[in-house]
């Protein structure tokens, strides 16, 4: 379960509209509950370093992630997931998304952006114990 406020939910969807027809990407900051539920308290936009193929690839510069992580730490927030958009494609994870996902127990949000408008937004948790058995499993988004 991923809890997110309306403000942050709309902000990440809007990001996908702004970068269309390119993929947007960003970081979910908040708290991991003992029960495994994640609560987003802020979202941080990140630049997509894949300028060579930004319509179908995203990559967040680790240096930018460290900066976001440091900022979060100062405000009592952890990195609990990431978001990106799929321009003119469904809000479903791709084989590339799974192969490139390494943050176990975190949420990966995907928003489909159809002709420039944010459509469906889905969330998936990266489950498993290592690279050999990892899976992206659909999780409920609770927008408050």
Partner 1 sequence: MPKIQIPTPLRQYAGKQPAVEVQAGTIGDALSDLVAKHPDLRRHLYTDEGKLRAFVNVYLNDEDVRYLQKEATAVKDGDSISIVPSIAGGLN
Contact residues for partner 1 (CB under 8 A)?
23, 25, 27, 32, 46, 50, 53, 56-60, 62-63, 65-67, 69, 73, 78-80, 82, 84, 86, 89, 93-97, 99-106, 108, 126, 130
User: Least distance from C-beta 26 to partner 1, angstroms?
Assistant: 10
Of 6 and 113, the one with the shorter C-beta distance to partner 1 is 113
User: Least distance from C-beta 117 to partner 1, angstroms?
Assistant: 18
Of 32 and 143, the one with the shorter C-beta distance to partner 1 is 32
How many Å separate Cα 44 from the centre of its chain?
10
Asked if residues 97 and 30 have their Cβ atoms less than 8 Å apart, the reply is no
User: Least distance from C-beta 111 to partner 1, angstroms?
Assistant: 13
To which residue do tokens 């976001």 refer?
68
* Cα separation values, 28 from 21, 51, 99, 116, Å: 22, 22, 20, 23
Beta-bridged to residue 122, according to DSSP, are 110
């Amino acid at each position: 379960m991923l809890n997110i406020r309306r403000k942050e939910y709309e902000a990440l969807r809007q990001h996908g509209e702004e970068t269309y027809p390119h993929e947007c990407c960003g970081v979910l900051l908040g708290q991991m509950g003992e029960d495994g539920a994640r609560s987003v308290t802020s979202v941080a936009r990140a630049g997509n370093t894949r300028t060579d193929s930004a319509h179908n690839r995203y990559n967040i510069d680790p240096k930018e992630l460290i900066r976001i992580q440091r900022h979060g730490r100062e405000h009592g927030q952890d990195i609990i997931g990431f978001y990106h958009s799929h321009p003119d494609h469904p809000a479903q994870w791709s084989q590339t998304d799974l192969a490139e996902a390494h943050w176990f127990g975190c949420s990966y949000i995907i928003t489909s952006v159809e002709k420039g408008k944010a459509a469906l937004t889905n969330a998936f948790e990266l489950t498993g114990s290592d690279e050999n058995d990892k899976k992206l499993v659909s999780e409920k988004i609770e927008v408050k």
